[in-house]
Chain A
Amino acid sequence: GQNIDQPTEMTATEGAIVQINCTYQTSGFNGLFWYQQHAGEAPTFLSYNVLDGLEEKGRFSSFLSRSKGYSYLLLKELQMKDSASYLCAVRDRDYQLIWGAGTKLIIKP
């Protein structure tokens, strides 16, 4: 079967750095997405990786290792508004998105 694993919940301090991991086992691989979802709102696109390595976008970076079936989202200089759920999704060989259950990130002052 296809599976995406992420930690259920993480806590971090305002101004700090946090890394959210995602491991996957899917039927083929055609890219990995990270989305942010604030409580009661829709998911919004953060990043996309299809090749190995690090993609940096402001305070957020996303890393991919296809051989390890592993990705992480790195958030720097955390702000209170970063409190949200972070969803990892992998596109399989049929171009269907397989979603993780999400990681709830709690930021404390």
Chain B
Amino acid sequence: TAGITQAPTSQILAAGRSMTLRCTQDMRHNAMYWYRQDLGLGLRLIHYSNTAGTTGKGEVPDGYSVSRANTDDFPLTLASAVPSQTSVYFCASSDEEADTQYFGPGTRLTVL
């Protein structure tokens, strides 16, 4: 099985433009997460979803939005990108919120 896929692999984006990062899992996991990873910092949670139809804010949600229309997909949208959103973005999933999280390959985003 593919596990978790993310697209695109990398992207360069002009400041002020919008962008949606895609995440799809085929493990039928209930919970999904979006993290950003910056040099010298731990993974920081942006948004999460414990089950389809529900979402919640993590540690750094400002400037980002998510939706969870079905079990498999959890897109992350940047409405108006700023340079501070330059980062590596990881999507993860777990069977339930208390279970081990499994990560996608990541999207490297550069905002200029």
Contacts and interface: CB of A to CB of B under 8 A. Distances in A.
Interface residues of B, number: 17
Interface in B70-98: 90, 97-98
Contact of B90 (A30, A31, A42, A96): A42
B98 to A, nearest CB: 5
Interface residues of A, number: 21
A4 B42 contact: yes
Contact of A30 (B44, B98, B101, B103): B98
B105 interface: yes
A31 B40 CA distance: 23
A98 B42 CA distance: 8
B43 A42 contact: no
A12 interface: no
Contacts of A41: 105-106
A48 B100 CA distance: 8
Given A42-B104, A89-B42, 14 more contacts: A4-B42, A41-B105, A45-B100, A45-B102, A87-B42, A87-B43, A95-B98, A96-B45, A97-B43, A97-B101, A98-B42, A99-B42, A99-B43, A101-B42
Interface of B: 40-45, 58, 90, 97-98, 100-106
